[in-house]
Chain A
Amino acid sequence: MTLLPELPQGAVRPVLRAPAAGLSGRAREVDPLEPDVLALAADLLATQLGSPGCVGLAATQLGVPWRVFSLDVTGHPRTRTCHGPMVLANPVIESATRWEKGREGCLSVPDLTGDVKRATRVVVRGEVPGTGESVLVETDAFESRAFQHEIDHLDGLLFLDRVAGAHALHARQVYR
């Protein structure tokens, strides 16, 4: 199973910021063998890698209403299981267990972070762009949180829709 197909040269593209309309609404399923889907996957990974501190990016954040995202939690202090850089199309959460609250942010909501309850164990089914291979990914901890955050984007949801309480939003720490 490979989650990182051979990708064409990706371009760094501008990322939508809330309240951009493109972040709302459900994105649609794609054909993972479409060359456009592979090109999008390359752009997602290139844009993600070009954004410091960004561990995942959904197509909707580039204004494309397709069910594709990129993810790479390598080196993050909260990561346990790590599948490295990946791109996935048409992801579906097959199971989600062991819920825990944690703080998360989003490139599309740059000024705020929120406490969000997420499953710390997930099994995600998806298709690899380019190869069309159907994969089943089982993971935990931070990678599990990142999967749920990106899949929420594809359903038009931001972490703002998932925060744990009226006072669960926080100013993003500014490092000087």
Chain B
Amino acid sequence: MRLVAVTVLGHDRPGIVARTTQLLAATGANLEDSTMTLLRGHFAMVLVAQVPGDANTTAEALRPLTEDGSLVVSVREVPEEPTAGPLGSAYLLAVHGADRPGIVSAVTGVVAAAGGNITDLSTRLRQDLYVLLAEVDLPAGTDVEEVSSALAQAAARLGVDVSLRPVDTDVL
């Protein structure tokens, strides 16, 4: 078995997830992690699977998805990566304000400069309102106050609101 990453992008309609996973299952593939969302109405899915063949045979098996030209599929082999949880602490970064270029790069730049790692990100533009939500792991020993104030400075320059809060992990 080999590990491959599959991306499926294009025009949304009911049944894409079902069709994609059926075609993969028929090859004997084993789905591991996946994520799917609609980005401005476009279907977007990425999944990682163990497949008996390789990237080419998997792409061939998924060819029916692309037949009407409304979806683009790509498959590539990827190495195994450690999936253990992060060592630092998890925070949720929220930014909202008027849409303007550079919001994502400016705030994620502050996170990167602090050694923080973004583990999940979503952004939404609704009319004039731009919203960014990012889950951020900050390394142990990070001065969170300092990161917060650097974010506040970046936000002030952009004219947006920013908050950085610890993520609750309730174990039930």
Contact = CB atoms under 8 A, between A and B. Distances in A.
Q: Determine if chain A interacts with chain B.
A: yes
A166 B168 CA distance: 13
A165 B163 contact: no
Contacts of A163: 92, 94, 133
B135 interface: yes
B72 interface: no
Contacts of B165: 162
A18 interface: yes
Residues of B contacting A: mostly: strand
B121 A166 contact: yes
B135 A165 contact: yes
A112 B133 contact: no
B129 A167 contact: no
Interface string A90-134: 000000000000000000010110000100000000000000000
Contact of A109 (B92, B98, B129, B135): B129
A166 B133 CA distance: 5
B126 interface: yes
Residues of A contacting B: mostly: loop
Contact of A161 (B94, B128, B135): B94
Nearest to A25: B161
B134 interface: yes
Given A165-B120, A169-B124, A18 B133 contact: no
A158 to B, nearest CB: 7
B127 interface: yes
Contacts of A158: 96, 161
A162 B164 CA distance: 10
Contacts of A109: 129
A58 to B, nearest CB: 16
Interface of B: 37, 92, 94, 96-98, 120-122, 124, 126-131, 133-135, 160-161, 163, 165, 167-168
